[in-house]
Amino acid sequence: MEIGHHPGIPYHEAPSDLPPDHRLSPGEWVRQNLFNNWYNSLISVVMGLGLAFALVQTLDWALTSDFLIIRRNLALFMVGQFPRDELWRVWASLYLLVGASGFGSGVLFRSEQADAEEKGLPVETHSWSEMLRRFWAIVAISIFFVSFARTLLPYLGLVVGFGLFVVGRELGRRLSPALRTRGLFLSGLAGLASLLVLAGTGGLGALAVGGLLGVWTLSEVRNYAEQHGVGSGQPVPVSRRVWRWHIRYPFKRRVGARLASWVAGVVVGVIAWFVLRTVDLSGFGWDDWGGLHLTLFVTVVGISAGFPVGVLLALGRQSKLQVVKGICVVFIEFSRGVPLISLLLFSSFMLPLLFPITFGIPGPLTRAMIVVTAFSAAYIAEIVRGGLQAVPRGQIEAAQAGGMSVARIQRLIVLPQALRAVIPALVGQFISLLKDTSLLSIIGLLEFLQTSDVANAQTEFLGQGLVAVTYPFVALGYWAFAYTMSKESRRVEERLGVGVR
Amino acid sequence: MSDTVVNADATEILGKGDTIISLRGVDKFFGDFQALSNINMSVGEQEVVVVIGPSGSGKSTLIRCINRLERHDRGSIVVDGVELSDDIRAIQGIRRETGMVFQSFNLFPHLSVMDNITLAPRNVRNMPKAEAEATAMELLERVKIPDQVRKYPGQLSGGQQQRVAIARSLAMKPKVMLFDEPTSALDPEMIKEVLDTMKDLATEGMTMICVTHEMGFAREVADRVVFMADGEIVEVGPPEHFFTNPTEERTKLFLSQIL
Ligand SMILES: Nc1ncnc2c1ncn2[C@@H]1O[C@H](COP(=O)(O)OP(=O)(O)OP(=O)(O)O)[C@@H](O)[C@H]1O
Ligand SMILES: [Mg+2]
């Protein structure tokens, strides 16, 4: 008489009713996860009813509301008061930016692939559906926004924009390895130049682009010199005796190459600066910016300028030089101890007094960017400081024992580990910044949220309670970008193996 | 002899070549606490010195002063003809000539084994990438883990990590290697592989100062053993001396505990 399982079969191998890799059908999933006991069932029912109610209400709102206010004001929401007959500049700038970022992202992707191949790590294959999964919220929101357009042009613009991104990325991925760094540099330059196209940032944009061109020239000349043995102490091939006078004077030769690269860099930089300055874009400086465009721009500036400043502040706060440390501490604690609103107001009333008259009084957007950068830098500094403290002492000692300089240790050992550890907190800060830019309205900038009030103040729509239409519309815009940022941050975390190693 | 004899002189090099490290009258304080007092010691080229002593006796502090991970307060330390001072160039120069292996490995977790090893040579010695990588592969062969080159430290066993750490130090082609209890954090079965690596190094003529309680290792490869207690060098001699007739009471007590 045998009861129970067969004695010859170990218990864990006893045949079971459910194969182990059995995938649940939707019905079973619901039963197992939502109605597995009485209180869970109760919660499910209550929540389900609530959800259904919310859904019905939303649908009712969506079907009965009049979206005319958005259709009429789409341009207002997107670009504020930017002169309507100059809108082509926004498109041109957008195209340049989208193409450049597509190109840059392609180059980066390919060089990461090459890196993984070289190290024998698993190589990620390129897939557009993966890209769509990553950025679906932004793609969807752009399509949603454009769907309110009354002419065909914005639709066309959107298609061209996506097309340029795809073409840029494909080109970037196909760039030959030798040109990759140059390619990245070029896409950065194009991104900056897009600002010029748009708003005629005049001196500033020209300075930035000219400066970068100069640096580029400098490094190209130096590379050339080194590759051909000038300055590295290697013999100069006879065919390259252009630098003949260097050959007799090894010391002069080295200095000569340095000097030549500097001269070339400065000359190119200055010429570029002057040429770009003469492009006359007066009449609509960037103080005309507004809407979603302004919001995104200030956020990007706050992140990309605030991040390096923040890292420097965090390092400075650890400095043994008391003066440096003191300045950093005062700056950080001041910026963090005061609400952003008061900083912005301060910028309206105080900054103009602090600026030397010769520079002219900076416009509101310039001031706002300075304040937002300072504000985000202070927060980033404190986040990074937390990361710096989490790097074990032994890491620094091991690098010191290898004879590395303080700067190299920070750059190659400490910061990479510190930053990895604080990615989630950093991205949280970036997302806050995106939403905090809504405060720019109090210094008279027409940012994204404010456009909703402006639309509702138009005589046609005044006092009709249409904020119920415009606010959700604006909120969706914020959400798409915030959501994509947090999704991307999780991706970066996973790839860097935060908390795994 | 009584146990009142302190500050034994460790300046006499046994058998081997010229002095490469010399400490004279070195004192080190942590606040009011004196961690090293009047240390006199020399190490000859190709000599292997093992430092032993109870916990807190100042062994780590001693070798960390030699590459300036700690700053000594009095006395002089000369390494390969360069005196340690606050001059950063002297310090960098000495650090380039001395490799250090830590109890807790201290590999860089965000870099692959290859990058861990090539980082310092490429950045400090300005070695071209290809050359640095070739050297790294040679070293990994030497510590017998060439197949781990692509992994990250977190993917290696303790013994493998410590051997990578040794390879990393060797990549700078140092004249002296400092070991601070390199096997104390390892499981017994991994201790041997690390000690074997160290023995190979000694046989190849590397100058080494090792803080370790592996007396088998000391007996086999050490030219001299230095016993420390309370920040002082209490007794110095060849390994046989310690195994057969240690003179100081404190030495006897300590050896009876660890042997
Ligand atoms: N950074 C420091 N600050 C204060 N005291 C310290 C510091 N480092 C070491 N000490 C003290 O100096 C003494 C010597 O320390 P050291 O680490 O050199 O001992 P050790 O011989 O290596 O001991 P162990 O065998 O436990 O590693 C100890 O009493 C220790 O508490
Ligand atoms: Mg110790």
Instruction: Give the nearest ligand 1 atom to B103 CA.
Output: 27
Expressed in angstroms and rounded, the spacing between residue B55 Cα and the centre of ligand 2 is 7
Look up the ipTM and state it: 0.93
**Degrees to nearest 5, angle at CA A163 with A159 and A166:** 145
Q: How far apart are CA B35 and CA B21, in angstroms?
A: 20
- Give the pTM: 0.82
Q: How far apart are CA A183 and CA A99, in angstroms?
A: 12
Count CB pairs under 8 A between chains A and B: 70
**pLDDT bucket at A64, cuts 50 / 70 / 90:** confident
Quick check: B156 contacting A, CB < 8 Å? no
Q: How far apart are CA B184 and CA A397, in angstroms?
A: 18
Instruction: For chain B, list residues with pLDDT below 70.
Output: 1-8, 15-16
Expressed in angstroms and rounded, the spacing between residue B27 Cα and the centre of ligand 2 is 17
Closest CA to A399 of B89, B173, B182, B120: B120
pLDDT tens for A7-27 read: 333 334 444 455 555 677 888
Q: In angstroms, what is the C-alpha Rg of chain A? A: 29
pLDDT at A236: 43
Nearest CB among B104, B153, B168 relative to A394 is that of B104
pLDDT at B5: 41
- A401 and B98 in contact by Cβ < 8 A? yes
pLDDT tens for A272-295 read: 887 777 765 554 567 788 999 999
Tell me the domain boundaries of chain A: 18-64, 288-501
**Degrees to nearest 5, angle at CA B4 with B1 and B6:** 105
Half-sphere exposure of A414 (CA within 13 A, CB side): 26
Q: Collapse the DSSP code of A385 into the 3-class scheme (helix H, G, I; strand E, B; otherwise coil) and give the result.
A: helix
pLDDT at A271: 86
Quick check: B132 contacting A, CB < 8 Å? no
* Pocket flag, ligand 1, residue B55 (CB < 6 Å): yes
* Residue A434 or A242, more confident: A434
Handedness of CA B222, B226, B228, B232 (dihedral sign): negative
**pLDDT bucket at A134, cuts 50 / 70 / 90:** very high
* Pocket flag, ligand 1, residue B250 (CB < 6 Å): no
Q: Token pair of B143, please?
A: 């510590």
Quick check: A499 contacting B, CB < 8 Å? no
Q: Collapse the DSSP code of A242 into the 3-class scheme (helix H, G, I; strand E, B; otherwise coil) and give the result.
A: helix
* Pocket flag, ligand 1, residue B56 (CB < 6 Å): yes
Q: Which long-range contacts (CB under 8 A, 24 or more apart) does A151-158 make?
A: A154/A74, A157/A91, A157/A94
pLDDT tens for A165-189 read: 999 999 999 988 888 888 888 888 8
pLDDT tens for A451-469 read: 999 999 999 888 888 888 8
The CATH superfamily holding the domain A288-501 is MetI-like (1.10.3720.10)
pLDDT at A21: 53
pLDDT at B16: 63
pLDDT tens for A210-227 read: 888 888 888 778 777 766
* Pocket flag, ligand 1, residue B35 (CB < 6 Å): yes
- A398 and B100 in contact by Cβ < 8 A? yes
CA-closest residue to ligand 1 atom 17: B60
> Which of B59, B62, B180, B209 for mutating ligand 1's site (highest number of atoms within 8 Å of CB)?
B59
Q: How far is CA A321 from the centre of its chain?
A: 33
The 3 state secondary structure assigned to A94-140 is HHHHHHHHHHHHHHHHHHHHHHHHHHCCCCCCCCHHHHHHHHHHHHH
pLDDT at A185: 83
User: A486, A427 in Cβ contact below 8 A?
Assistant: yes
- The DSSP bridge pattern shows strands B176-180 and B48-52 to be unpaired
Cα distances from A243 to residues A18, A320, A390, in angstroms, run 80, 46, 51
Q: How far apart are CA A283 and CA A199, in angstroms?
A: 9
* Pocket flag, ligand 1, residue B59 (CB < 6 Å): yes
